[in-house]
Amino acid sequence: MKVLLALLIAAALGYFLGSLNFSIIVVKLMKGRDIRTVGSRNAGLTNTYRCFGPQCAALTLIGDLAKGIVAVLLSQLFASMLKVGFAPDNEVKYIGFIAGFFAILGHVFPIYYGFKGGKGVLVGVASFLPIDPRVFFALLIVFIVILSISKYVSVSSILGAFYSPIAIFLMSLWVDGEKFGRSLLYLLLCLPMAVMVVYMHRSNMERYMEGTESKFTFKFNK
């Protein structure tokens, strides 16, 4: 019963915090516009930067990172208080994946904005910081390296998402020396997060195959 309660709390915290889309909030407050009606019409960091510049993008970055981190930390705190972690030390890493997935779900289908949001990359990556900081920085490095080579944010996001379950599995099994079963559990819990991010980039993949996907540049529309 306590485990179910912890899972429900994690899902609720993740979804309702994830539904706070800072791209929509920041652009509306600073520019009086709806980010979902300009540029690519995606309520995310890249479109915010391209259409409204670095100030709006920086605030969006901070907000979307923060909500993923807070959702996971609060979920783990409640799980720890309920003592539903793995023995012998009440380890509650697993609950972070639940909060992370629902934070992505909230970002993609936000209850506050008519269920029309972004693609969940930032909040998904941010979720890994409290789950396992090493995986967070590994994903960040992978994203930066692929972006510097390909110049496509979408390609970097997709490949980073593919890598995340593998990274969490290998870090748990080889570095931390966890049993195979627990490491596999972490991989399986991480998988829905990765699948959601990849699925939300399906239109980007179509444009990439057609040769019409936009490359990343530091230039923005003034």
- Has residue 81 been placed in a domain? yes
Determine if the peptide bond prior to 165 is cis (ω within 30°): no
Residue 155 domain-assigned (yes or no): yes
CA distance 13 to 102: 8
C-beta of residue 128 within 8 angstroms of C-beta of residue 139: yes
Total domains in the chain come to 1
Q: pLDDT at position 80, please?
A: 93
Query: pLDDT of 171-212, one tens digit each?
Result: 999 999 999 999 999 999 999 999 999 999 999 999 999 999
Residue 221 lies inside a defined structural domain of this protein = no
How distant, in Å, are the alpha carbons of 19, 40, 161, 182, 204 from that of 165? Answer: 24, 29, 8, 13, 22
Segment 1-58, tens digit of pLDDT: 899 999 999 999 999 999 999 999 999 999 999 999 998 888 888 899 989 999 999 9
What integer pLDDT is reported at residue 111 of this predicted model? 96
Length of the chain: 222
Condensed to tens digits (0 to 9), the pLDDT of residues 89-144 reads 788 999 999 999 999 999 999 999 999 888 999 999 999 999 999 999 999 999 99
The CA distance from 216 to 183, in Å, is 35
Give this prediction's pTM. Answer: 0.92
Tell me what pLDDT residue 220 has: 64
- Residue 218 in this model has a pLDDT that exceeds 80: no
Range(s) of the domain holding residue 36: 2-210
Residue 145 lies in a domain: yes
Question: Taking a C-beta distance cutoff of 8 angstroms, is the pair 192, 101 a contact?
Answer: yes
Quote the tokens at residue 211.
């040769």
| 64 in a structural domain | yes
